[in-house]
Structure 1
């Protein structure tokens, strides 16, 4: 028998789902959220947050080995892998509990179990106490995604890992193969390399971080190689042969040759696919293409009253994109005026490796391919006083402008703390700022953000410190 009638039922409590629930509660909608595992979804429990805790440990460990540069001394520097993992899990638990508090604060009912579309305006939930049905005037699908697998390199949880196993290693392996050099692959490669693991990264494209500007990718690759990381591009792992406690990979190289590599563990980071199974999508008439739910610019699926958000609807697979979509879907439901559909060119991307990488908008190549006449500015970390004082002089900021209108088309960064800096350019793009607006803005001194100003100035031949 159907139970409580809701204005909105959300299936999935990741960043998109729980933020949608919060916004729905704020707007006075009677709301329920259905979650089969832990509140916060993959991001809070097995993705964005715990990986950043791991990477923070790696960053501190690397800094400890540079103490002489800062006039400091320490002896017997070491690490405890289990303690590093324990801290990461503690951070994840704290934030998951925080989501539960937000649900209570906003009067959102949390339904534990596996949800699926049952009928028009109904969601069925299989929980520990059996099956129940919820009436829903509107349904938001926010079931996220999972690691994609390729034939022959399927993860087994022991020798071949996904991100889940990579986040909770019982001990540091001596050697590691990372398949895929997107943000997930590079972050894990950076983490393990910081603790002395022999890391090899294999990327099928002709450069690592292929969605980034080519100059940023090249700089990052050089930095990673300097740290001792081995990187193979235009290469493909053809097969994996498992032994008792090692894996031998056969790798096809760009020159047509092959090589074999034996490592203790492998991380598969070859992309993700939406969690579209067992949701009742086909029966409800919700369209699925290439492993993701099809939704329009308003997150509508084409079936009245059913919306889809986040990783479930495809790239870019980013938590902040999902959060924005969650708010947009709810405000669309209530008919709020003044809404704008999501502009993916205004979504920043961040990779929390060492060095960090961040970007928003078009790369230089994309701007040229689009027929734009452009002006490009660059400014190195070595020209910035704060970067030198921090002992972080490696990196640069790059900006791409329309030569005629002064529109900021894209911004790209590599170096310390650039994942925090990129939001300045994101706001500039949202406000449709021109080069004149950015040039006339006063940036505080001494800060890393001054490089953002200098890069803008450089694009128009006015840089002051190079």
Structure 2
């Protein structure tokens, strides 16, 4: 049978884009379908604009820190900033990235189709466009529909006084007092931006501790560095049961366990950063007997879509909608894995070696298992877990920069020395983590890593010291 394309990708986010590029390298005639903006969440409403806001607000924070600058022998006068100009900077980066993404696909001959697609049976898609519906066929289909912000029941958004990260990224205002619902990556990063630019923040977390997804040691230190010294009030163990837009915004807080009303807050604005949910409905998956799993598209580690546990021929899914790791680079990696498998080269995704970062000041990064997760695995498989910590305050480069707050923590097997996880908070943590991610990908031991040579004086020596310290005790 002749198909219109070798491969059609539904969704032009970072995952879909990465898959398209690799597909072209593998000689596949490829099309990509996008219903909204090319580049998806990451380019338009996530990674890219948020890093631009963090870069600008971080400079403001640094220049306003007279004590820190004085320790370097520097004195500055008053620091001023233009909110609109910072917002425009972020939007300019978005436009540049989006145009670059579109340009790269056009140069490689990837056909871009604007419309909303749904599966219409094996190897067939129906695309709804402003001009009407059309059907196309492909030997293989990759679904990369992405995710959207989660708005809990009882929360009303108006995009102005109560909003998600999709609106916060525009930085249309700097409310004097902002409540942030959630203390994950998004909540932490926006608390960094808002406090640097003079806002007061109240952070609301439903679980008993802030930053529940992070390693406990890192979460504890992050609170001391990123929360306590700043104009941030925290409320844990409470849910924002009802949030009503207006002036002021009212937030009814209930106890997470008893569900009793604890307090009613009145603030100027509320950012809902309670996570993200898959955008996987209305994809027509029922036509190939696929049921969503808690809203996510079920896949195996080769990225094949599953129906009752078995792969659906020629149908693949990647990115946030699979629910594996909601990270742009994870989606891109999944895309490459899917292409490799459809080309007959069996590969499986290794989630343990995919790093993550929060681009706060200082940054937080991690890869692999937290200490509790590693101990749970050790208990199951019969090995002991060991931990080693090294400190930025002992690193020459960090001292030269007068940025000595932070630690690196390595979690490893005591018997083999295999690195199971690495967690860093400190200057350039997001860059430092890649070395550890590569080590975990190769299942390296601290005993061999201890003999690697690191440039002096650099921050990378924090990991060098940790490897050496761990090797002595393993």
TM class by shorter chain equals over 0.9
Residue 324 of structure 1, CA deviation: 0.5
CA RMSD of aligned residues (A): 1.8
Residue 206 of structure 1, CA deviation: 2.2
Residue 154 of structure 1, CA deviation: 3.4
Contact 1:377/1:457, CA 8 A, preserved across alignment: no
Name the structure 1 match of 2:108.
Answer: 106
Name the structure 2 match of 1:328.
Answer: 337
Name the structure 1 match of 2:157.
Answer: 155
Q: Which runs of 5+ in 2 are unaligned?
A: 306-310
Partner Cα distance (1:246, 1:169) in 2: 19
Partner Cα distance (2:172, 2:301) in 1: 44
Residue 461 of structure 1, CA deviation: 5.1
**1:293 counterpart SS class:** coil
Name the structure 2 match of 1:316.
Answer: 325
Name the structure 1 match of 2:56.
Answer: 57
2:256 is equivalent to residue 286 of structure 1: no
Name the structure 1 match of 2:361.
Answer: 354
Q: 1:175 to 1:449 in 2, by over 3 A?
A: same
Name the structure 1 match of 2:308.
Answer: none
Partner Cα distance (1:4, 1:121) in 2: 9
Partner Cα distance (2:376, 2:17) in 1: 38
Name the structure 1 match of 2:301.
Answer: 297
2:405 is equivalent to residue 394 of structure 1: yes
Counterparts of 1:364-383 in structure 2, within 5 Å, are 364-370=371-377, 371=379, 372-383=383-394
Count of aligned pairs between the two proteins: 458
**1:303 counterpart SS class:** strand
Q: 2:223 pairs with 204, 208, 221, which one?
A: 221
Partner Cα distance (1:122, 1:144) in 2: 20
Q: 1:271 pairs with 269, 275, 278, which one?
A: 275
What whole-Å deviation, never above 9, does each CA across 1:145-184 have from its counterpart, x for those lacking one? 1011211113221221111111113221101111111111
Partner Cα distance (1:440, 1:446) in 2: 17
**1:125 counterpart SS class:** strand
Residue 289 of structure 1, CA deviation: 1.1
Partner Cα distance (1:255, 1:221) in 2: 23
Q: 1:235 pairs with 216, 221, 238, which one?
A: 238
Residue 297 of structure 1, CA deviation: 1.3
Partner Cα distance (2:459, 2:314) in 1: 46
Q: Which runs of 5+ in 1 are unaligned?
A: none
Residue 249 of structure 1, CA deviation: 1.3
Residue 456 of structure 1, CA deviation: 2.2
Partner Cα distance (2:314, 2:395) in 1: 52
Name the structure 2 match of 1:404.
Answer: 415
TM-score for both structures, normalised by structure 1: 0.95
Name the structure 1 match of 2:36.
Answer: 37
Name the structure 2 match of 1:440.
Answer: 451
Contact 1:16/1:322, CA 8 A, preserved across alignment: yes
What whole-Å deviation, never above 9, does each CA across 1:426-459 have from its counterpart, x for those lacking one? 0111122111111100111111110111122333
Partner Cα distance (1:15, 1:241) in 2: 34
Contact 2:281/2:295, CA 8 A, preserved across alignment: no
Name the structure 2 match of 1:28.
Answer: 27
2:204 is equivalent to residue 202 of structure 1: yes
Q: 1:193 to 1:214 in 2, by over 3 A?
A: same
What whole-Å deviation, never above 9, does each CA across 1:16-55 have from its counterpart, x for those lacking one? 1011111111111110000112211110111011100000
Residue 10 of structure 1, CA deviation: 0.4
Residue 127 of structure 1, CA deviation: 1.9
Contact 2:155/2:244, CA 8 A, preserved across alignment: no
